[in-house]
Amino acid sequence: RLLSSSVKPEVQSTLNLLENTYIKDDFTNVTDKIISHLGRNLHIKQHHPLSHVRQRIVNYFYKCFVNGRGNPVFSVYETLPPIVTTDQNFDSLLTPKEHPSRSKSDCYYLNRDYLLRAHMTAHQSELMRSGLNNFLMTGDVYRRDEIDRTHYPVFHQLDAVRLKTRDQLFPVDESLEIFEAGNNTRSTGTQQKQACHTLEAVKLMEHELKTTLGGLAKELFGEKIEYRWIDTYFPFTQPSWELEVFHENNWLELLGCGIMRQPILTNSGIQDRIGWAFGIGLERVAMCLYKIPDIRLFWSNDTGFLNQFTVDCDANVTYKPVSQFPQCINDISFWLPEGKEFSSNDFYDLARNIGGDVIEQIVLVDEFTHPKTGKASHCYRIIYRHMEKTLVQSEINVIHKKIEKNAAVMLGVKIR
């Protein structure tokens, strides 16, 4: 027996996940609820709608890019483990040290060095280093975010990388180059291109990238789909774009993409290639394609949901709601702790950890600061709705009370 009676056994100082042990520290913020999603692998589960979408994207790449013998050139990685280092998720992708995407309120950290990947791009460098030039990687990603019918802390992405040499890019014209003479890697360049690249190389890569992804949008949503390109910023690509499609009277962001920042390639030992990359969200595509109204449904084990997708991945399916059960709405108001950090995401995670998928949405409905005491107060509306049955108020009361109690103890708020 190692534990002396004075040691409180319930305060665990380590996490055991996927056969490794992680020592907790001041960054640890994963919850049991989040951990329970590890290994579900919905993106490769047979007949799951997310798996259908993945397969359709992979098939499109197999079809579009073949070598001289007619074999697909892209290789596919779909079981890369979701626990990554901060180096993989951020540093290898040139994300600045103080970038907000690193913050504890946005990511699920196991400790200061390890987190649940926030995007599939985290694996880009290691796969390039292993010698791959054309690859797809798909899996579950984890982000602390708002809670509503289109956001869930776990979702799925498919990322791609394509690297090309000078000869592949300019097979005919011997005089054209990928890199600008006098290789100015120190200068960052412009919105149009990185300083180290020639304009010809970037324009050709941009053309292939946009044709490929425009074609993907048509493959998924039909020839008539309307789409547009929006200039954007990512630390790891320059120039960068988002692809939006016009779906049911709204512009919907489908994916982010761009020309890979050259230092990512050189840091992976690649000197002679230029690359493009993109990352697409699978839930978003599936929700549009199958008219799935709530992102929680993907996690359902209910056969009423799953059986509707027991079809071929190319089949046309329109989801028929099993039935819409009524909502139950309860508010919670509290004073924020004084002299201690508080982020709404802390409350969302705590509530989700207790209520689970019965929580459909949480909205911050009122914020106010007392004019005399200076104390700040938040009021959150928690909308409860079960996907498969009608909830009764007494059931909700138990959960709601537990959330109040835990918020007071764990977050130091004072219930009003």
Minimum CB distance to ligand FA5, residue 382 (Å) = 19
**Residue 177 vs 253, nearer CB to ligand FA5:** 253
Nearer to ligand FA5, 143 or 400 (CB): 143
Helix, strand, or coil here: 151? strand
Exposure string of 172-197, with b = 16+ CB inside 10 Å and e = fewer, is eeeeeebbbeeeeeeeebeeebbbbb
- Evaluate the omega torsion of the peptide bond into residue 239 and state whether it is cis, within 30 degrees of 0: yes
28/240 with CB nearer ligand FA5: 240
CB-facing half-sphere around the CA of 157: CA atoms within 13 A: 24
Size of the chain, expressed as the number of residues it contains: 416
Q: What's the CA gap between 160 and 73, in Å, rounded?
A: 12
Query: Is the Cβ of residue 241 or residue 334 nearer to ligand FA5 in the bound state?
Result: 241
Backbone region of residue 249 per phi and psi (left: phi > 0; alpha: psi in -120 to 50; beta: other values)? left
Here the tokens at position 333 are: 């108001």
C-beta of 25: minimal distance to ligand FA5 in Å? 26
Provide the 3-class DSSP secondary structure of residue 239: strand
Look at residues 142, 152, 92 and name the one whose alpha carbon lies nearest to residue 117. Answer: 142
**Closer residue to ligand FA5 in complex, CB, 151/381:** 151
Question: Between vectors from CA 143 to CA 137 and to CA 147, what angle results, nearest 5°?
Answer: 130
Distance of CA 26 to the CA centre of its chain: 24
- Residue 17 vs 286, nearer CB to ligand FA5: 286
Of the pair 146, 404, the CB lying nearest ligand FA5 is at 146
Cα 159 to chain centroid, rounded: 11
Residues that bind ligand FA5 (CB under 6 A): 119, 121, 143, 145, 151, 155, 157, 159, 234, 237, 253-258, 277-281, 283-284
